[in-house]
């Protein structure tokens, strides 16, 4: 009762006493009793209000500080999980956890023990999972490719190793990260002490993490934090004065910074163990302030042990890491994790005026003599297919693209208003001086001036060549990268999937292969045969080519007949495919060991060399003895087989000693009889230049120490590619971020 209320009571009491003296005694007594009761009730109410006001103020104060504790807990957790510099904590946005003090029934749902490897794993209260040992469910069996659980559980949720760049990679310390944040689930974290109503610090604030519950996919979702904040007495640390439980559902987004964008991506499924060989790769370019190449090489592969980190460099065929981005400065490098690829770009079926879309160009075979012939379609996309469609995106379908010989080219012109999507139903072989000449807006610009985001190349697999019998769905796993560079066969039982060989890009650094290749079932290589000579195309003569990772041939590269320009297989004497590699062949035929094919040709029955040799023969080099020879071929339909015995009285083997230019008894070159023209490989340029991105099953570059592969890691390209495809194709190493709060739900408790 305050001083004002007491004084008021005495004034009223004196007033009514005076009335009693003046009025009748009975009347005064009654009035006094009534007034006394009213005054007593008023006084009781005033006292109760004062007491309640003090109690309510304290409860509000405790409530407020408990709520502040939960708010602070959410803020601290969000800052910790968004931290990328202190470690890979941002992966914990994807985790489900539950504190050791929480009843099991209140924990998020987890997997049964028989699915312990699948995300989110099993319930282990009071601990965070090791996300590098959990796997995304393999929907559709696309990653495991028939390998059963638990031998293959899916794609790894988190990586095992850091970037490999100019400096070595290191294991990610998941054990240390878990130990650092495990205490959040098992101990209350003190925030601060607070000041009470009399200016004295008489309570403390703290919070504990009850659970986390991520709902979503590797592309993002929502992570729910359940946090409990407390106020406690400083004199009794076990005494909780108030608590506040707060559930905050935070939007989790996946971001890919410029350093994380994947210019190169290799690995299609769990079986692709040897899917990357970088050899003498040199990353160039860079539009950042430091002019450093900025971007990533993504090896889509599961790693199961930290000891594998130290072997990545060797497994990837890298002898010198100086050509990789600077990983210490955050510019990217080689990242090993089976990240999810975006889906295949949609093929535009828009019909250009007066044309059928997509255009079907058939087999495109370009030589130095035929590149300018309109019927070859080598220049269609920079002449007729460009002049009339400068403001329309274009789609074209081809069977195979074969560009061979000095000055041979396939021309493509694009612009921001007229992009090209090239759908390849077969293989691509650009080698021996040939090039794909992608120009920007004008046929007068340099090859490689075309913006890579304006040319997209897609592959159909297993392939629909002119020869449908070649297509074989069982050949998906036949190719891998050789441990010495180039491509090798795995089983040699089935014809492999289609391939992309680009071993020549031009004669200067201004000439580049520029484009975006999306082909997750296709093998890419820059391999050059380990020989001193290569075959130059000649009108009317057979031509040795590479397709599907093996040797094949064309009957006549400059013939208008589609069948003459369609690839055909060459097999060894026992019917095996002959691998196309840059190193010694690994074969399953003793006859072919150490033998390399250089050329193929035919002679007429009327020609009469000094020896009655077979009409169709292959020029072969023995790398062990350095001897050359002509080996007979038997052709049956769409295949040719090397013969190991004479047929019909004709010799199957003509020894040429240590030169392919040996003459017969009449003084004529043996290879002239077969229409074979040779060029020295040493005349080819020793550098190759690429600008753009390729996302493929296998990426098998040349042997380390041979010819350099220069790849432009320009971050402007990644931004422009994403713009073209509405940001769907900004693919790379993910960084997870907690963004906006979606739900904020409060539950209060009071202890006294």
Clarify whether residues 140 and 243 are in a common domain.
Answer: yes
Kindly tell me if the per-residue pLDDT of 348 is higher than 80.
no
**Domain contains 606:** yes
Kindly tell me if the per-residue pLDDT of 305 is higher than 60.
yes
Clarify whether residues 742 and 656 are in a common domain.
Answer: no
Clarify whether residues 677 and 590 are in a common domain.
Answer: yes
The model's pLDDT over 349-376, given as tens digits with 9 standing for 90+, comes to: 655 555 555 689 999 999 999 999 999 9
DSSP conformation letters of 341-355: PPPPPPPP----TTS
Clarify whether residues 655 and 744 are in a common domain.
Answer: no
pLDDT of residue 422: 95
Kindly tell me if the per-residue pLDDT of 14 is higher than 50.
no
Q: 51 vs 334, which has greater pLDDT? A: 334
Kindly tell me if the per-residue pLDDT of 683 is higher than 70.
yes
Residues belonging to the chain: 752
**Domain contains 345:** no
pLDDT of residue 124: 94
Whole-prediction pTM = 0.88
Within 367-443, strands assigned E span 394-404, 409-414, 420-424, 428-431, 435-440
Q: Which of 683, 704, 728 delimits the end of a domain?
A: 683
By the 10 Å C-beta count (0-12 exposed, 13-18 middle, 19+ buried), 16 is classed as middle
33 confidence band (pLDDT: 50, 70, 90): very low
- Report the distance separating Cα 508 and Cα 245, nearest Å: 67
Query: Considering its fold, how many domains does the chain have in total?
Result: 2
- Report the distance separating Cα 501 and Cα 517, nearest Å: 12
How large is the average pLDDT for residues 554-581? Answer: 92
**Domain contains 360:** no
Q: At what angle do helices 3-22 and 25-81 cross, to 10 degrees?
A: 170
pLDDT of residue 468: 52
pLDDT of residue 285: 85
308-322, 351-365, 572-586: the lowest-pLDDT one: 351-365
Regarding beta strands 550-554 and 543-547, do their DSSP bridges make them parallel or antiparallel, or are they unpaired?
antiparallel
Kindly tell me if the per-residue pLDDT of 25 is higher than 70.
no
pLDDT of residue 191: 72
The model's pLDDT over 99-111, given as tens digits with 9 standing for 90+, comes to: 998 999 989 999 9
pLDDT of residue 239: 66
The model's pLDDT over 111-156, given as tens digits with 9 standing for 90+, comes to: 999 999 999 999 999 999 999 999 999 988 999 999 999 999 999 9
- Report the distance separating Cα 512 and Cα 710, nearest Å: 9
Residue 752: cis peptide before it, omega within 30 degrees of 0: no
pLDDT of residue 744: 76
Clarify whether residues 219 and 85 are in a common domain.
Answer: yes
Q: Which of 644, 659, 683 delimits the end of a domain?
A: 683
Clarify whether residues 577 and 652 are in a common domain.
Answer: yes
**Domain contains 233:** yes
By the 10 Å C-beta count (0-12 exposed, 13-18 middle, 19+ buried), 653 is classed as middle
Residue showing tokens 């007034």: 35
pLDDT of residue 289: 62
Kindly tell me if the per-residue pLDDT of 264 is higher than 60.
yes
Regarding beta strands 513-525 and 687-700, do their DSSP bridges make them parallel or antiparallel, or are they unpaired?
parallel
Clarify whether residues 647 and 741 are in a common domain.
Answer: no
Q: 473 vs 110, which has greater pLDDT? A: 110
524 confidence band (pLDDT: 50, 70, 90): very high
Half-sphere exposure of 48 (CA within 13 A, CB side): 6
- Report the distance separating Cα 77 and Cα 93, nearest Å: 10
List beta partners, residue 640: 570, 635
Q: Which domain holds residue 659?
A: 529-683
Kindly tell me if the per-residue pLDDT of 461 is higher than 70.
yes
How large is the average pLDDT for residues 244-263? Answer: 93
**Domain contains 239:** yes
Q: Which helix (H) or strand (E) holds 480?
A: strand 479-481
Kindly tell me if the per-residue pLDDT of 654 is higher than 60.
yes
pLDDT of residue 580: 86
**Domain contains 382:** no
Clarify whether residues 743 and 599 are in a common domain.
Answer: no
85-94, 393-402, 585-594: the lowest-pLDDT one: 585-594
Q: Which of 683, 706, 722 delimits the end of a domain?
A: 683
pLDDT of residue 241: 72
The model's pLDDT over 423-442, given as tens digits with 9 standing for 90+, comes to: 999 999 999 999 999 999 87
> Other C-beta atoms within 10 Å of 185: how many?
22
Most confident of 55-64, 341-350, 499-508: 499-508
- Report the distance separating Cα 183 and Cα 126, nearest Å: 8
125-134, 150-159, 276-285, 483-492: the lowest-pLDDT one: 483-492
Clarify whether residues 243 and 175 are in a common domain.
Answer: yes
pLDDT of residue 466: 45
Report how far apart, in Å, the C-alpha atoms of 15 and of each of 6, 10, 20, 33, 39 are.
Answer: 15, 9, 9, 14, 13
- Report the distance separating Cα 73 and Cα 67, nearest Å: 10
**Domain contains 506:** no
44 confidence band (pLDDT: 50, 70, 90): low
User: Which positions ≥6 away from 206 have C-beta within 8 Å?
Assistant: 69, 188, 189, 190, 191, 229, 230, 232
For residues 271 and 301, the answer to whether their CB atoms sit within 8 Å is no
pLDDT of residue 187: 80
Most confident of 383-387, 451-455, 467-471, 685-689: 451-455
What is the overall mean pLDDT for the chain?
86
How large is the average pLDDT for residues 73-91? Answer: 85
158 confidence band (pLDDT: 50, 70, 90): very high
Clarify whether residues 579 and 674 are in a common domain.
Answer: yes
4 confidence band (pLDDT: 50, 70, 90): very low
Clarify whether residues 90 and 229 are in a common domain.
Answer: yes
Kindly tell me if the per-residue pLDDT of 563 is higher than 50.
yes
pLDDT of residue 590: 79
How large is the average pLDDT for residues 704-715? Answer: 84
- Report the distance separating Cα 596 and Cα 574, nearest Å: 17
Regarding beta strands 487-489 and 677-680, do their DSSP bridges make them parallel or antiparallel, or are they unpaired?
unpaired
pLDDT of residue 16: 40
How large is the average pLDDT for residues 645-662? Answer: 95
Residue showing tokens 């098998």: 700
pLDDT of residue 62: 66
How large is the average pLDDT for residues 277-294? Answer: 84
Residue showing tokens 């072969």: 620
- Report the distance separating Cα 453 and Cα 472, nearest Å: 31
pLDDT of residue 13: 38
Clarify whether residues 74 and 216 are in a common domain.
Answer: yes
Task: Please state, for a pLDDT cut of 90, what percent of the chain lies above it.
Answer: 62
**Domain contains 481:** no
């Amino acid at each position: 009762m305050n001083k004002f209320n007491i004084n008021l009571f005495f004034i009223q009491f004196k007033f009514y006493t005076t009335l009693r003296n003046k009025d009748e005694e009975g009347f005064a007594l009654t009035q006094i009793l009534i007034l006394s009761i009213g005054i007593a009730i008023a006084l009781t109410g005033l006292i109760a209000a004062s007491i309640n006001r003090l109690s309510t103020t304290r409860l509000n104060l405790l409530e407020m500080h408990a709520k502040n504790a939960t708010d602070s807990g959410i803020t601290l957790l969000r800052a910790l999980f968004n931290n990328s510099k202190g470690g890979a904590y941002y992966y914990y946005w994807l985790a489900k956890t539950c504190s050791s003090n929480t009843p099991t029934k209140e924990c998020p749902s987890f997997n049964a023990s028989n699915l312990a490897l699948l995300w989110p794993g099993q319930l282990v209260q009071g601990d965070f999972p090791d996300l590098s040992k959990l796997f995304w469910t393999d929907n559709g069996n696309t990653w495991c490719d028939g390998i059963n659980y638990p031998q293959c559980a899916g794609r790894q949720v988190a990586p095992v190793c850091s970037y490999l760049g100019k400096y070595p990679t290191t294991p990610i310390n998941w054990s240390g990260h878990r130990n650092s944040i495990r205490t959040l689930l098992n101990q209350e974290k003190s925030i601060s002490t607070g000041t009470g109503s009399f200016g004295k610090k008489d309570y403390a604030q703290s919070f504990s993490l009850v659970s986390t519950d991520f709902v979503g996919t590797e592309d993002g979702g929502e992570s729910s934090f359940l946090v409990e904040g407390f106020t406690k007495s400083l004199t009794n640390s076990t005494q909780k004065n108030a608590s506040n439980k707060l559930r905050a559902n935070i939007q989790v987004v996946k971001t890919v910074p410029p350093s994380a964008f994947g210019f190169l991506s290799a690995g299609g499924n769990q079986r692709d163990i040897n899917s990357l060989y970088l050899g003498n790769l040199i990353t160039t370019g860079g539009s950042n302030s430091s002019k450093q190449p900025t971007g990533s090489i993504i090896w889509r592969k599961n790693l199961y042990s930290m000891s594998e980190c130290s072997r990545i460099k060797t497994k990837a065929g890298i002898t010198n890491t100086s050509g990789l981005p600077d990983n210490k400065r955050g510019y990217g490098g080689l990242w090993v994790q089976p990240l999810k690829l975006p889906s295949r770009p949609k093929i535009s079926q828009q019909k250009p005026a007066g044309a059928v879309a997509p255009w079907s160009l058939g087999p495109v075979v370009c030589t130095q003599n035929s590149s300018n012939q309109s019927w070859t379609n080598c220049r269609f996309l920079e002449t007729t297919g460009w002049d009339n469609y400068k403001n329309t995106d274009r789609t074209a379908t081809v069977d195979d693209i074969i560009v061979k010989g000095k000055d041979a080219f396939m021309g493509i012109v694009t612009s921001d208003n007229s992009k090209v999507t090239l759908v390849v139903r077969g293989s691509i072989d650009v080698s021996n001086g040939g090039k794909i000449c992608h120009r920007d807006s004008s046929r007068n610009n340099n090859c490689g001036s075309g913006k890579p985001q304006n040319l997209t190349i897609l592959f159909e697999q297993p392939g629909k060549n002119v020869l449908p019998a070649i297509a074989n769905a069982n050949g998906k796993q036949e190719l891998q990268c050789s441990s010495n560079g180039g491509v090798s066969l795995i089983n040699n039982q089935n014809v492999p999937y289609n391939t992309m060989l680009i071993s020549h890009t031009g004669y200067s650094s201004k000439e580049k292969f520029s484009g975006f290749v999306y082909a997750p079932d296709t093998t890419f290589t820059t391999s050059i045969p380990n020989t001193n000579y290569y075959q130059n195309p000649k009108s009317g003569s057979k031509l040795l080519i590479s397709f599907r990772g093996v040797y094949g041939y064309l009957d006549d590269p400059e013939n208008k007949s589609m069948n003459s320009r369609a690839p055909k297989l060459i097999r060894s004497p026992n019917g095996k495919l002959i691998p196309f590699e840059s190193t010694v062949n690994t074969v399953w035929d003793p006859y072919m060991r150490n033998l390399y094919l250089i050329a193929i040709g035919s002679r007429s029955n009327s020609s009469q060399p000094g020896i009655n040799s077979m009409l169709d023969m292959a020029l072969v080099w023995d790398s062990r003895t350095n001897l050359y020879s002509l080996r007979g071929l038997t052709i049956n339909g769409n295949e040719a087989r090397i013969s190991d015995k004479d047929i019909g009285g004709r010799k199957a083997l003509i020894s040429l000693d240590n030169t392919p230019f040996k003459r017969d008894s009449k003084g004529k070159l043996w290879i002239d009889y077969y229409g074979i023209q040779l060029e020295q490989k040493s005349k080819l340029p020793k550098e190759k230049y690429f600008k753009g991105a390729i996302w493929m099953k296998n990426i098998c570059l040349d042997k380390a120490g041979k010819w350099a592969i220069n790849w432009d890691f320009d971050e402007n390209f990644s931004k422009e590619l994403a713009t073209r495809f509405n940001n769907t194709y900004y693919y790379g190493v993910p960084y997870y971020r907690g963004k906006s709060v979606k739900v904020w739900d409060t539950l209060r408790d009071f202890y006294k």
